[in-house]
């Protein structure tokens, strides 16, 4: 295994869902309190020297410039604080920035997290705001919406590879199974293939149960330079591979809409950095904003060949009891998708898995994990690889 880039020494995540009665900054405090409480050796004010926060849109709360605000709410002033925005990969990109900070030697211990308070607005207006991450005017003006964009990838995938609505439905069923084991998930109930197929069409072939929900939530990690990790915990999780790639913002200028190019490129680099291949991954959290996205992620991460994503889910390989469990947290689908919080929430789940704290959804003996976060119609892609440090 390659040399660690940085180490995660604690993590916290809020309950995801409709969290009325809280501002985004208060949600972030909820996640940070959990991370701080779990790390008694950490004196936040004394040790933490940087803050990175992923948040997609100021429109949800009409509040921009959230980095200083969250630094204030965490009692970390005057520590330098940064907000990153990359649509649904906002906190995935925040993690990348945290790595830059630590690798540069300018920072030793940072908090990196993400937050989104989405439920202040009506669903149609949230759809509009999320849609801002697609091309203006050539996509947004048609009322395409993100379900629509991923649905177009789905019809192309179905036409090219014969992927079926049932296979898409199975992704939702699997992730709801896992969500039922996660007490912080937005949805904690099991569903059937029929439930998915008969749910309301959002953007055919995607039905309501093929789509991740609109959620409120926050997540955060305490990340340190590898040499300092032992000061804070006996069981750190090291980040051993990390890469990011970009693609066109509009789907209309892509060579191939059936493959997630950003993930493919980032995964290849991250595997190389870590010095391992896909076969070594014990547990992964992938960006299942829509069921088709998880199928495409399998292919881009090299868990299977292009076009074989549907077969992987058919064979149960990615179920909790399968050879390569994916989205043990319930994924974006069942755990919820407060967009800015998602990237670091994925890392929180891998942290819990690799430190054997994942409770009923624990993958026994998990040593190497992976997260795959995308923004927009996969215009931003972040892939990171983690290993147990004890």
Partner 1 sequence: MQPDKLLKEKKPDEKWADWGRLGRWNVVGYKIIEGNKGHRPDKLERARYMLVSRPWDVMYEHSYGLVSRFFEGLIEKKLLGTKCPKCGDVFCPPRAHCWRNKCRLAETRWVEMPMRGTLHCFTVLGFAGEAFLSDLPFILAYVRVEGANTLIAGRVVGMEPEDVECDMSVEIRFVEYPSGNPMDIYFVPAGPPLGRRSAEEKARMRRQLEPIRAWVSERFGQQRSKQ
The answer to whether 333 and 327 are in contact (CB under 8 A) is yes
Question: Is 337 annotated in the active site?
Answer: yes
- Give me the catalytic one of 39, 220, 337, 348: 337
Q: Which is nearer to partner 1, 57 or 242 (CB)?
A: 57
Q: Which residues contact 137 (CB under 8 A, 6 or more apart)?
A: none
- In the complex, the smallest distance separating the C-beta of residue 277 from partner 1, rounded to whole angstroms, is 30
The answer to whether 102 and 111 are in contact (CB under 8 A) is no
Cα(1)–Cα(4) distance, integer angstroms? 9
Cα(185)–Cα(246) distance, integer angstroms? 29
In this structure, the strands spanning 216-224 and 109-117 are: antiparallel
Q: Which of 1, 2, 33, 269 binds partner 1 (CB under 8 A)?
A: 33
Q: Does 193 bind partner 1 (CB under 8 A)?
A: no
Q: Which is nearer to partner 1, 32 or 229 (CB)?
A: 32
- Report how far apart, in Å, the C-alpha atoms of 248 and of each of 133, 138, 152, 292 are: 11, 13, 16, 19
Q: Which is nearer to partner 1, 183 or 275 (CB)?
A: 183
Q: Which of 131, 330, 340, 381 binds partner 1 (CB under 8 A)?
A: 131
Cα(146)–Cα(50) distance, integer angstroms? 33
Closest CA to 76 of 115, 106, 45, 52: 45
Binding mask 52-91 for partner 1 (x = CB under 8 A): ----------x-----------------------------
Cα(345)–Cα(309) distance, integer angstroms? 24
Q: Which is nearer to partner 1, 207 or 324 (CB)?
A: 207
Cα(70)–Cα(44) distance, integer angstroms? 14
Q: Does 190 bind partner 1 (CB under 8 A)?
A: no
Q: Which is nearer to partner 1, 15 or 264 (CB)?
A: 15
Token digits of residue 381? 């892609």
Q: Does 203 bind partner 1 (CB under 8 A)?
A: yes
Cα(94)–Cα(112) distance, integer angstroms? 6
Q: Report the SS3 class of residue 381.
A: strand
Closest CA to 389 of 228, 245, 256: 228
Q: What are phi and psi of 196, to 5 degrees?
A: -65, -50
- In the complex, the smallest distance separating the C-beta of residue 147 from partner 1, rounded to whole angstroms, is 7
Q: Does 207 bind partner 1 (CB under 8 A)?
A: yes
Q: Report the SS3 class of residue 226.
A: helix
- In the complex, the smallest distance separating the C-beta of residue 124 from partner 1, rounded to whole angstroms, is 4
Stretch that binds partner 1, among 133-141, 261-269, 271-279, 352-360 (CB under 8 A): 133-141
The residues pairing with 117 across neighbouring beta strands, listed in sequence order, are: 216
Stretch that binds partner 1, among 17-25, 299-307, 315-323, 363-371 (CB under 8 A): 17-25
Q: How many CB atoms lie within 10 A of CB 78?
A: 8
Q: Which is nearer to partner 1, 5 or 31 (CB)?
A: 31
Question: By CB under 8 A, what part of segment 218-237 binds partner 1?
Answer: none
- Give me the catalytic one of 39, 88, 211, 348: 88
Question: Is 88 annotated in the active site?
Answer: yes
- In the complex, the smallest distance separating the C-beta of residue 72 from partner 1, rounded to whole angstroms, is 19
Binding mask 85-114 for partner 1 (x = CB under 8 A): ------------------------------
Stretch that binds partner 1, among 44-52, 193-201, 228-236, 265-273 (CB under 8 A): 193-201
The residues pairing with 17 across neighbouring beta strands, listed in sequence order, are: 216
> Is omega for the bond preceding 78 within 30 degrees of 0, making it cis?
yes
Q: Which is nearer to partner 1, 344 or 373 (CB)?
A: 344
The count of chain residues that interact with partner 1, using the rule CB under 8 A, is 51
Catalytic residues: 88, 337
By the criterion CB under 8 A, which residues form the site for partner 1? Answer: 14-15, 20-22, 30-31, 33-34, 62, 122-125, 127-128, 131, 137-139, 141-145, 147-148, 151-156, 159, 183-184, 197-198, 200-207, 250-253, 257
């Amino acid at each position: 295994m390659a040399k660690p880039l940085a180490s995660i020494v604690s993590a916290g995540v809020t309950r995801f869902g409709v969290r009325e009665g809280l501002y985004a900054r208060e949600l972030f405090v909820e996640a940070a309190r959990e991370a701080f409480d779990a790390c008694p050796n950490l004196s936040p004010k004394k040790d933490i020297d940087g803050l990175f926060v992923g948040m997609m849109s100021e429109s949800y709360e009409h509040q921009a410039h959230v980095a200083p605000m969250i630094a204030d709410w965490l009692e970390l002033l005057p520590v330098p604080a940064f907000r990153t925005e990359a649509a649904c990969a906002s906190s995935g990109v925040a993690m990348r920035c945290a790595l830059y900070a630590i690798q540069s030697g300018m920072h030793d211990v940072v908090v990196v997290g993400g937050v989104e308070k989405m439920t202040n607005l009506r669903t149609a207006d949230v759809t509009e705001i999320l849609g801002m991450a697609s091309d203006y005017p050539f996509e947004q003006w048609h009322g395409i919406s993100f379900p629509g964009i991923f649905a177009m990838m789905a019809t192309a995938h179905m036409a090219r590879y014969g992927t079926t609505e049932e296979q898409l439905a199975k992704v939702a069923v699997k992730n709801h199974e896992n969500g039922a084991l996660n007490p912080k998930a937005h949805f904690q109930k099991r569903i059937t293939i029929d439930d998915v197929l008969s749910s309301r069409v959002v953007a055919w072939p995607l039905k309501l149960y093929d789509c991740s929900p609109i959620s409120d939530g926050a997540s955060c990690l305490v990340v340190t330079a590898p040499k300092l990790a032992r000061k804070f915990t006996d069981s750190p999780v090291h980040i051993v591979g990390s890469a990011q790639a970009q693609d066109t913002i509009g789907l209309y200028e892509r060579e191939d809409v059936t493959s997630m190019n950003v993930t493919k490129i980032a995964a290849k680099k991250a595997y190389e950095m870590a010095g391992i291949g896909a076969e070594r991954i014990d547990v992964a959290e992938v960006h299942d904003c829509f069921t088709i996205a998880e199928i495409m992620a399998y292919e881009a991460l090299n868990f299977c060949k292009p076009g074989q994503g549907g077969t992987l889910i058919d064979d149960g390989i990615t179920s909790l009891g399968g050879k390569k469990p994916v989205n043990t947290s319930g994924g974006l689908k069942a755990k919820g998708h407060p967009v800015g919080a998602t990237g670091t929430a994925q890392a929180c789940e891998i942290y819990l898995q690799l430190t054997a704290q994942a409770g009923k959804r624990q993958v026994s003996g998990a040593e190497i994990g992976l997260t795959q976060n995308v923004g927009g119609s996969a215009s931003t892609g972040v892939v990171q690889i983690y290993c147990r440090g004890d």
